[in-house]
């Protein structure tokens, strides 16, 4: 199957999903740009769109080449406490639109949980913050909206209610695991409340690895089915393995955020994740922190039979290591097969390190 583009007018996000098309999201921005020296850990704010637009543009481009259908604005944590100028949101929209125009990608305006909900829970104040961001997204004419990274379903519902004030489709993802949100609302109930609030697409993102996130998605799907509600499903997990984390996710792990490299998922792990997500009925499949462009390419390659084409980045990547058949060493050439990579148990190279950690909380 040769790499190919998608000519013609772009279909909207709901048109794509309702036709059964696989939509591939993008991946990691905050952690990836921190490693590259453009984001400061701790605040995790997106001022790089102003200070280093070329770095943000390049990462967008790499995700596009890898197969992403969505360029999400780099506006994470755009709250009143850490973004004094809404020009940052404007710049993020411009960068996402510029890159999306180079392929078959849509622009999603993204908002996330606020820093004040945990302490004040002032609905009017929090909705005002969401509404300020929405005004910029509407002005910049983004294709759809994503409310992501919510620990509390109540605040996520408020976000959906505000975003529904526009005429654009709304997706919402929570950063929860199978145990539910921070108020012990189950994933089943979270999904029901979000769809009743008006979201067309629901799911989870960040905080947990692919395996755990898919368990949560299964619970959300069950909740919607039991309630007789319909919505499209979306999953964007970490690019790290986190079977040992607690309810708060990977932020509880002692390796967070500067020692996570030994937990990085392989491209083959991500192909497995993509297939399992698809089989679960999820059609919006992407990644969050730790998801590099090669991980997104793995999703696109695994689901190429369903999509009908490979992404441009696959031009330099043989399926299941097939390019190794040209290697000079015979034992390396012997690895040019699917069963080798599917059954590999990668070693960390650290003989005195545990395979799992004890969460701090």
Task: Annotate 147-201 with DSSP letters as a single string.
Answer: EEEES-HHHHHHHHHHHTTSSS-EEEEE--BTTBSTT---HHHHHHHHHHHT-SE
Starting at the edge strand that comes first in sequence, how are the strands of the sheet with 144-150 ordered?
Answer: 23-24, 284-285, 232-236, 201-205, 170-174, 144-150, 106-112, 70-72
Angle 50-207-300 from CA coordinates, rounded to 5°: 75
Residues 182, 160: Cα–Cα separation, whole Å: 18
190 labelled ligand-binding: no
Q: Are strands 284-285 and 70-72 parallel, antiparallel or unpaired?
A: unpaired
Q: Is 206 one of the annotated binding-site residues?
A: yes
Tell me how far the alpha carbon of residue 233 is from its chain's centroid: 13
Give 202's strand partners.
172, 233
Q: State the pairing for strand pair 70-72/144-150.
A: unpaired
The three-class DSSP label of residue 308 is coil
Q: Fill in the DSSP letter of residue 10.
A: P
Cβ(201)–Cβ(234) below 8 Å: yes
Which residue positions form the known binding site for Zn(2+)?
206, 288-289
Q: Which residues are annotated as a binding site?
A: 206, 288-289
């Amino acid at each position: 199957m040769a790499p190919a583009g998608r000519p013609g007018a772009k279909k909207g996000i709901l048109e794509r999903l309702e036709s059964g098309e696989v939509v591939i999201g993008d991946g990691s921005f905050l952690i990836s740009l921190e490693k590259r020296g453009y984001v400061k850990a701790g605040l995790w704010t997106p001022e790089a769109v102003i200070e280093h637009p070329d770095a943000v543009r390049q990462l967008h481009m790499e995700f596009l080449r890898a197969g992403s259908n969505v360029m999400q604005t780099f506006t994470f944590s755009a709250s009143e406490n850490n973004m004094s100028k809404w020009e940052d949101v404007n710049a993020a929209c411009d960068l996402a639109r510029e890159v999306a125009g180079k392929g078959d990608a849509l622009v999603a305006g993204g908002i996330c949980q606020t820093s004040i909900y945990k302490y004040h829970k002032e609905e009017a104040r929090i909705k005002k913050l969401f509404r300020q961001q929405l005004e910029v997204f509407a002005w910049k004419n983004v294709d759809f909206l994503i409310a992501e990274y919510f620990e509390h379903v109540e605040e996520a519902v408020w976000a959906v209610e505000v975003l529904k004030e526009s005429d654009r489709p709304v997706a919402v993802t929570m950063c929860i695991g199978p145990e539910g949100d921070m108020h012990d609302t189950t994933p089943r109930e979270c999904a029901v409340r979000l769809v009743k609030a008006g979201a067309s697409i629901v799911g989870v993102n960040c905080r947990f690895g692919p395996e755990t996130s898919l368990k949560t998605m299964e619970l959300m799907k069950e909740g919607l089915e039991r309630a007789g509600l319909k919505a499209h499903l979306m999953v964007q997990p970490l690019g790290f393995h986190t079977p040992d984390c607690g309810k708060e996710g990977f932020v509880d792990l002692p390796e967070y955020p500067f020692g996570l490299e030994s937990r990085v998922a392989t491209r083959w792990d991500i192909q497995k994740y993509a297939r399992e997500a698809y089989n679960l009925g999820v059609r919006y499949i992407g990644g969050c922190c730790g998801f590099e462009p090669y991980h997104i390419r793995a999703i696109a390659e695994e689901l190429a039979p369903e999509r009908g084409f490979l992404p441009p980045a696959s031009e330099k990547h043989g399926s299941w290591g097939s390019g190794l058949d040209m290697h000079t060493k015979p034992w390396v050439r012997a690895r040019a097969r699917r069963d080798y990579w599917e059954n590999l148990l990668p070693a960390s190279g650290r003989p005195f390190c545990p395979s799992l950690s004890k969460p701090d909380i």
